[in-house]
Structures are given as structure tokens and as C-alpha cells.
């Protein structure tokens, strides 16, 4: 936990607690994060801290303050029974009042930039409250609801939506059965500022880490969609290309490991897919960069850019990497002695950002092509190629299908 609790004043003069996580850099757009039925527990605080790394100042109000102030429940059977009891007695209308008061408090904080509006994000109970807040509170510029239960019973409010709305629905969620899910999809499809996504094969709470139903690919996809919507409405806007180029400048030009690590989040990771090299976490990745990457790359290593796609949260780079294999390269050819061969390989990098820092890198290339070029793999009779893979990427007019013995047989067949 990196945040702190503050008090939110209500319109009636009362107050309740709320967990505050300040944005990376000290100031950012504001988000009210609405809890599950388990209170402002460790999982919700972790969500707030995560969004703070994305560049948001996040306030998590204690929505059960009237009946069970500061309650924190786990996910045991006993705690679930208590949580469900609190949920059944909960007044959603009072919850919207609390969100309104939380938004008002958030907008007064020096750490909050409310110039483009404010956001509301919620999970479970909070997912429905995020939806209702989007429909009822004009100050909500963007709302995101995860597996909100009961939204199908409040679809008549959708016509009041003036901001952006994103809903994430689990296909197997018994709390949102197929008919309810379809009603939500049909209604949101008719509204130009609303989007609803269904995540196949996952259940309620698929985006809660360490839960029984946590599904990392779906959670990551949903998070990217959420942050993209928030970026487009309330910000912040980062120059991802400049951030990425600064990172690779320190990797390949200055060869400065501390400067390289400074461009990344606290716990980043790098995965070179073909060779399983890289590192997870600050310590292991710094060790990898220091002893097995930055200072090991051949002096003539060069990157030739082919294309670049820039999204809201990631950059995808397509390039050719060329070098002379005159030193051992642990990350690319682990355990292989220098061969003196010149190598050119197409590569693809998927670089994910969290706020203004790199979060992870997934780097792909054809290892068979590398092995062919350095003489460790005889391509005869195998569906693999050497430097031709890079050459054809640069010149698409070079022959295709040269590895297909059957290609000539279709020369005169109708198409």
C-alpha cells in the first residue's frame, strides 16, 4: 500500500474515509474507484495503486460507511456471506451521493487535474455504481464498470449518459446471465458513447489478481480498453514514442543500465520470446541488462526500422536487427561461441507502458533464421530460411513460397 486515507465530507456535514493513491509524478486526472462488496480491502487498494502508476490520482470511498465503516473482507466463505449481507442492505442511491461527494473532494486536491473532467471505475457492486454515476452525474467524463451486477435492470437510464462508458462482462458470470448480458449489449450498441465487451470463457472477478477466476489475458485486455477510454477523455497523454526511443537510446547508444532502468516502472519485465531471456522485477532485470545484454551487444549492432504502430498504452515496432556475431550474445544466442558471421533478422517488439514508464517488452524473432545464418542449422529439406527473411521484408518483390515444394503444382490451376 503506497497511499493514505483521507476524509470525504458529505453534503449533509458527515464524513467518511476514502483511500487516496496519488498519481505517478505527483499529479494526474482524477478517478473515483468503487469497491466490490468486500469493502476497501487490500485488493481494492492495490487497484488504486496500479491506476496511480498509470498516471491517475485515485480515491476509493468507503461505500459501507453507514453500516460497517472501514470494513475489509477477504474472499473466504464466511466473509462472502457477510459481504452479501451488506450488499443486500445497500442503498445504491446513497452510493451515488457518496460518489458525488468523492468526486467533489477529489477535484479540490492539488494532486488532481480535473481540467478535462473526472472518471469513475468500479468492480462488482462498484461496476453498477460506475454505470449509474455515468448516467446520473454530468461531472463524470468517463466511467468503466467491471462485471457490474444488475445493470440490465437500469438500462432505462442510459439515455442520460453524456460522458464515455465502457463495460466489461464475463461470459460465464452467473450474476449476469445470457439474457441480461444480451440486453446490456443491445442497449449499449445503440448509444454512441457506450461500449460493452464480453470476455469469453471467464467468470465474475476475472480481473481480480489471485482470485479463483482470475484470467490474466482477459484482465490485461480489459485494462487496456479501460485506460484507452480514460486517456481519450480525461487524459493523461504521454508521448510513448519519445519514451520508447529514450529507453533504446540508453540500451544501445549510451549503454547506461541505471538510465535504462529509470525509464521503467518499479517492477518491469522483459521477455525475449524465442530464447526465454530477460528478467522479471527490478533486481533481476537490472542484473540481466548489466551482465547479459547492454554491455554484450556487438559494437556494430544496428536497428533498421520498418514500421511502428502507436496505441494508447503500447508501441509495436517492426525492425531488422543486424550485427556481426563477433562476441557471445547471451540473450540472443546463449552459450554459442562467436562465429564471426554477419546476421540480419526481422524482429517485432511489443512495448507496454504504464503511465510514463515502460512496463514490459515482448520481443519476437525467428530463431531458426539466426541459426541458419551462423551455420548451426542446415536449412536443407527444412521449411526455414536465413537472411532471406530480412531481405524479403525490405523488398516484397522477392519471390514468395520458395520453401513450398508444391508451389509449382498450382501454376496453371484456376483461382
Catalogue the active-site residues. Answer: 173, 204
- Give the whole-angstrom CA distance, residue 239 versus residue 247: 13
How far apart CA 297 and CA 26 sit, in angstroms, is 37
Cell numbers placing 321: 536487427
Q: How far is Cα 229 from Cα 161, in angstroms, rounded to an integer?
A: 15
What distance in Å separates the CA atoms of residue 137 and residue 162, rounded to the nearest whole number? 9
Long-range contacts of 260-267 (CB under 8 A, 24+ apart): 260/289, 260/294, 261/285, 261/286, 261/289, 263/357, 263/358, 264/357, 264/358, 264/359, 265/53, 265/354, 265/355, 265/357, 265/358, 265/359, 266/53
Phi and psi for 73 in degrees, rounded to 5?
A: -110, 150
- Residue 254: helix, strand or coil by DSSP? coil
Angle of CA points 394, 398, 404, to nearest 5°: 120
The shares of helix, strand and coil residues in the chain, as percent rounded to the nearest 5, are 35, 25, 40
Lookup: cell for 369: 533464421
Amino acid at each position: 500500500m503506497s497511499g493514505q486515507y483521507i476524509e470525504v465530507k458529505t453534503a449533509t456535514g458527515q464524513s467518511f474515509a476514502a483511500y487516496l493513491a496519488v498519481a505517478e509524478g505527483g499529479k494526474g486526472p482524477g478517478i473515483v474507484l468503487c469497491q466490490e462488496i468486500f469493502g476497501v480491502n487490500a485488493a481494492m487498494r492495490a487497484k488504486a495503486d496500479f491506476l496511480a502508476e498509470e498516471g491517475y490520482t485515485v480515491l476509493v470511498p468507503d461505500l459501507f460507511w453507514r453500516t460497517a465503516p472501514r470494513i475489509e473482507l477477504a474472499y473466504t466463505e464466511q466473509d462472502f456471506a457477510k459481504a452479501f449481507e451488506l450488499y443486500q442492505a445497500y442503498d445504491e442511491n446513497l452510493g451515488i451521493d457518496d460518489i458525488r461527494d468523492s468526486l467533489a473532494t477529489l477535484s479540490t486536491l492539488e494532486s488532481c487535474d480535473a481540467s478535462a473532467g473526472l472518471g469513475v471505475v468500479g468492480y462488482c457492486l462498484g461496476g453498477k455504481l460506475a454505470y449509474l454515476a455515468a448516467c446520473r452525474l454530468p461531472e463524470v467524463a468517463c466511467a468503466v464498470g467491471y462485471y457490474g451486477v444488475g445493470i440490465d435492470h437500469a438500462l432505462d437510464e442510459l439515455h442520460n449518459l453524456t460522458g464515455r462508458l465502457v463495460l466489461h462482462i464475463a461470459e460465464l458470470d452467473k450474476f449476469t446471465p445470457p439474457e441480461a448480458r444480451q440486453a446490456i449489449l443491445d442497449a449499449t450498441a445503440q448509444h454512441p458513447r457506450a461500449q460493452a465487451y464480453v470476455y469469453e470463457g471467464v467468470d465474475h472477478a476475472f480481473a481480480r489478481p489471485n482470485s479463483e477466476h482470475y484470467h490474466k489475458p482477459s484482465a490485461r485486455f480489459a485494462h487496456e480498453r479501460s485506460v484507452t477510454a480514460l486517456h481519450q477523455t480525461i487524459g493523461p497523454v504521454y508521448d510513448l514514442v519519445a519514451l520508447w526511443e529514450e529507453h533504446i537510446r540508453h540500451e544501445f547508444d549510451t549503454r547506461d543500465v541505471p538510465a535504462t532502468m529509470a525509464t521503467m516502472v518499479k517492477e518491469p519485465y522483459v521477455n525475449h520470446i524465442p530464447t526465454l531471456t530477460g528478467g522479471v522485477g527490478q533486481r533481476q532485470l537490472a542484473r540481466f541488462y548489466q551482465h547479459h545484454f547492454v554491455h554484450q551487444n556487438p559494437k556494430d549492432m544496428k536497428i533498421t526500422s520498418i514500421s511502428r504502430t502507436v496505441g494508447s498504452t503500447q508501441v509495436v515496432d517492426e525492425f531488422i536487427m543486424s550485427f556481426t556475431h563477433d562476441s557471445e550474445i547471451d540473450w540472443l544466442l546463449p552459450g554459442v561461441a562467436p562465429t564471426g558471421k554477419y546476421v540480419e533478422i526481422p524482429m517485432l517488439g511489443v512495448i507496454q507502458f504504464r503511465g510514463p514508464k515502460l512496463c514490459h517488452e515482448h520481443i519476437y524473432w525467428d530463431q531458426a533464421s539466426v541459426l541458419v545464418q551462423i551455420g548451426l542449422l542446415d536449412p536443407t529439406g527444412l521449411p526455414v530460411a536465413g537472411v532471406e527473411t530480412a531481405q524479403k521484408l525490405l523488398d516484397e518483390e522477392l519471390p514468395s513460397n520458395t520453401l513450398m515444394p508444391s508451389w509449382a503444382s498450382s501454376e496453371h490451376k484456376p483461382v
